[in-house]
Amino acid sequence: MEKYKIVVAHDSDNFFNEALSEISSGPEHFKNLNLLLQHLSNGSPKMTLASFEKFFKAGGIIVIATHNNEIIGMATLVTVTKLNGVTGRIEHVVVDPVHQGNGLSRKLMDELIKIARSKKLRYLDLTTEPKRIAANGLYQSLGFIKRETNPYRLIL
Ligand SMILES: CC(C)(COP(=O)(O)OP(=O)(O)OC[C@H]1O[C@@H](n2cnc3c(N)ncnc32)[C@H](O)[C@@H]1OP(=O)(O)O)[C@@H](O)C(=O)NCCC(=O)NCCS
């Protein structure tokens, strides 16, 4: 496991100067992150410097897994401020297929759950498609309970 590193970033400085300090600079960060994103959804907009700035400004937290100074896994936590309290949403959980099965997503999720507890969020929500066997196994093994609700979306 020594060759893998798990790093958390809460803001752009954290992300670029600390988390990514040993990683090749510039657009390479986004290339690797956007390659990972393709495993989640083909048509989704790309991550950019501007989208990262917005994400951190809104209180987002990213945890990344690196291997030989390359980003090979990620997971994010965003907080949702509701009338009756603050909750969290986990998004963009993905590990490069070459590195799957090494316990990395569990470590990424453990970090985010620890942070969510320390922020006293009421609960964490996430969704995943039924066909994503590994993801469903991961979330259930972490104690996430499947809810009977229909997720809806209005594309704007
Ligand atoms: C889901 C995903 C992130 C798991 O990453 P990973 O680093 O390989 O997972 P880990 O090695 O940390 O395994 C953690 C747990 O996940 C579950 N799991 C992992 N692979 C599994 C598989 N093929 N079948 C069933 N459960 C699996 C197990 O509970 C495992 O714990 P265990 O090893 O103690 O049994 C990875 O498969 C992935 O990136 N898939 C494509 C993207 C995706 O579906 N993301 C989720 C979108 S919501």
Q: Which domains can be identified in the chain, with CATH numbers?
A: 4-141 (3.40.630.30)
- What pLDDT is recorded for position 25? 60
- Residue with tokens 């959804």, as numbered in its chain: 41
The verdict on the CB of residue 40 being under 6 Å from ligand 1 is yes
Amino acid occupying residue 142: L
Task: Give distance in angstroms: CA of 156 to centre of ligand 1.
Answer: 32
Judged on CB neighbours under 10 Å (0-12, 13-18, 19+), 153 is exposed
The verdict on the CB of residue 76 being under 6 Å from ligand 1 is no
More confident site: 42 or 150: 150
- What pLDDT is recorded for position 69? 81
Distance CA 61, CA 12 (A): 10
pLDDT tens-digit series, residues 79-134: 999 999 999 999 999 999 999 999 999 999 999 999 999 999 999 999 999 999 99
Q: Band the pLDDT of 6: cuts 50, 70, 90.
A: very high
Mean pLDDT of 32-57: 91
What sign does the dihedral 18-22-26-29 (CA atoms) show? negative
108: number of CA atoms within 13 Å, CB side? 29
